[in-house]
Structure formats: structure tokens, C-alpha cells
Amino acid sequence: MAVIGRRGPAVATLLAAISIAACTEPEPGELIGNPNNAGPDFDCKLGFDALLQSILARPAVKDWGMDRDTARYIQDDARSSFYIVTGERHPAHPAIIQRRSGMSSSGATLTTEACAFGDREALDADIQAYDLMDRALMKEFVIYHYPTDEPGSPTLAHLTPPPSAPPLS
């Protein structure tokens, strides 16, 4: 029998824990958002790493890389989807956010679904920020395309067309 030393029991316990963790199934994530919008290929039950690999394995996916270890950006034009994958320094890590654009009878739409594998409150805060940004963008879109006499957006004031010239007599 080999003697490991004074730390033998602690090392043995650590090795046992590592081997058990390596054999366990990945922890399924919690879907945040509308399951009908998420689509069948955004499956939180796969676990963080497997879901990320399934997204990256799709044809014509563009991986834009990591931003300061907080988020990785992936674009999937075939599905009109954009993914934000949290990095180790992100408070909600691990998590994957799916943003999808589309059209409906009421116009352009943006949907947000997410798989929470880590801090749910931090992810909820991120999703709320995206929702606020979406509302602001839609307001800008409406003001630009359907100008009114009401006060408009200062960021689009320079884009508002001038009034029509009077008819020639």
C-alpha cells in the first residue's frame, strides 16, 4: 500500500469527488422566456457546454469571440438568431441568451430567450436591460418611419425630412 502522506485522506476525497463529478450528467438549465419562440434547437436540458457546441456546429454560424471575458457573441443568420454566451467574469455565468428577429402582423419583432445555468437573478437583470433597449429601439423606429407633431427622439431629429415645399403656381 502506498503512503500519500499527511494529506492522503484529503487528496483521496478530492480525487473521488472529481471522478464522480466527471461521470454525472450535465446540469440542465432553466428556460427563461417563451418556449415557442426558443425553437427546438435551443434546448436548455442539454447543459451549458453541449448547448454551446450544438450552436457552434451549425453551418454558417459566425463566432465573433469573447469580449473581456464577460460575453461571447455568436451570429446564426439561417435562424435569424444572435447568441450571447456568458464568460467566466459575467455575473450570470454560465448562461446562454438567444435573441431572434422576425416579422409578425404587427411589424418587426425581437424575442429573447435564455438558458440559466448559473445566477438567475443576474440573468434576469441582463434580460431586463435587453428588453428596455428593445423598447427604446422600437420607439426610435416608429418615430423615424411615422413622424408626428409630438416631441420626437433627439437622436433622430436630424433624420426627419423637411416639410414639403408649397405647390408651384
Q: Is the pTM of this model over 0.75?
A: no
CA-CA-CA-CA torsion sign (120, 69, 102, 161): positive
Query: In degrees rounded to 5, what are phi and psi of residue 137?
Result: -65, -40
Cell numbers 487528496: residue = 11
**For residues 28 and 21, what is the distance between their CA atoms, to the nearest angstrom?**
15
Distances (CA, A) of 160 to 67, 134, 143, 144, 166: 35, 21, 9, 7, 18
Residue 96: count other Cβ atoms within 10 Å of its Cβ.
24
Q: What is the pLDDT of residue 69?
A: 79
Share of the chain above pLDDT 70, in %: 66
Asked if residue 52 has pLDDT above 50, the reply is yes
pLDDT tens per residue, range 103-149: 777 777 788 999 999 999 999 999 999 888 888 877 776 555 555 55
